[in-house]
Amino acid sequence: MRVQYVAKPRHRTVRSLIAAVAFAAASLTAAAHAFKLGSIEIVHPSARPTAPGQSVGAGYFTLVNKGAADRLVSATTPAASMVELHSMSMDGNVMKMRQIDAIDVPAGQTVELKSGGLHLMLMGLKAPLKDGDRVPLTLKFEKAGSIKVIVNVEKAEATKVDEHKH
- pLDDT tens, 36-93? 999 999 999 999 999 999 999 999 999 999 999 999 999 999 999 999 999 988 888 8
CATH tag, 34-153:
2.60.40.1890
Handedness of CA 126, 130, 136, 142 (dihedral sign): positive
Q: The whole model's pTM is what?
A: 0.75
Q: What's the confidence (pLDDT) of residue 136?
A: 98
Domain ranges (residues) in the chain: 34-153
pLDDT in tens, 125-139: 999 999 999 999 999
